[in-house]
Structure 1
């Protein structure tokens, strides 16, 4: 096969100017030159040019397409990397489409526009980096914390076409984990948990500890529903039973000193923002909605505080 640059252009649909440039940079080498100095191409040149054209049509940059064509880069690896990049672009465009359709549905406030555009700017990689940075900050110095694995295994995963509620949840979560005060509070809780485990060899992830916590939710919620005051005699009986569960889990005796320590621990680890964190993760990941446990713990803390003060 002996082709002029014009013939090669007609066969491949690639402009002559482009073929000439590819030849100049060594991407599609000419087979020879005519006596008049014109470039001549053969079947190898044709195959190389068709491969480069196909890769460029798929969106690969010229440098990558050239390295593949010259066998400096494996086609499979280049295709995989580009497919991943295309996936990210598709996801980002899908999110933008979702935001635009939401904006088009009706009257939208300035605040809603800011909220949705902030969401549209957040790519999957940015979301992952934000969460990884948050977890690295709060678990610094405590890599073996039992909650670290749990939190890393429950990262937000936005669907391709999120609902308005999921958009709202993501924007709120991004603000929450970026808040320095929230990070400091969670770090304080992590550090205190590590100190307690080292001192007692008991983890709040132990079954007995979890059972004691579940009992608080059950009995304190019932007390709230029945209108039981935290400073009543009925509350005192409930507190006695709940404290006994925590004391048994911690291998301690129910003494005034223990109750005072338990009260401080409950105050330390009861923070509505942490519960809100998990609620937002649940909305984003479409988990079944769970009732808030904050009111139950607030009642128990108030009742225990009354017991300690007596």
Structure 2
């Protein structure tokens, strides 16, 4: 049986940490960072900023060496006053410290970890090792820091969804679309959500922290890509096919299609997805706000969802957290 470890729900006034789990804070990101902090405070939380979140602090392409990133992450996981961890930004560092994470601390005091992009590696590893329901959702800079640009109505929708997801034991229900979702293959599916940045998922599956095959049974696989071409996405999807993952899933969600460049002379993203899926009769809904064109809708790993491609809707059927 697949294990699920739901984190404790948050309460108004709880302390949440903003942590550099991968990339650092560049000088040109400070305004986004401050706006992101303000949004978290607006949700009712007290924000604690990790010492590694320092303007201009870098080691290679990250905020610090992998051991330092892991040490800071573990400190926050063990701190009973910190009730959630929001990732500052993405990057290219998380695969370097998966073996240094204190997974026992996660099991002892499960708390939400929120982020996407390179942070998906951490979320998926935590889910694989402990069953933790992490949230593929906005980063503090590239995410919460951009809520103000979404318009008042959309900003309120995002705040409502985020608040309910993190503070309530009731299911969120239907997620509000903020754009043109596309039906690529009709049908309806109900199953647990699993996924993240496609290339990171593929890389994780080559490590000891890979998701076991049964995690994909009846699942709704969501993925997004950025800074790559359709040819690369096609190859990564074939990796999942060869691994038998596409034979196990019940449905698929695809992120912003504009984030994937069409390889010269090649087909578009829709065509390559349907090509890899072949005759698998599963619903596919695309162009969702779950990627590198924030603000994003939050997707909790392992939580059962209903995908209706014909109606172009996605609903969360279970809560992401529990009262403890």
Highest Rg: 1 or 2? 1
Per the normalisation by structure 2, the TM-score is 0.23
Query: Which structure is higher in strand share?
Result: 2
Query: Which structure is higher in helix share?
Result: 1
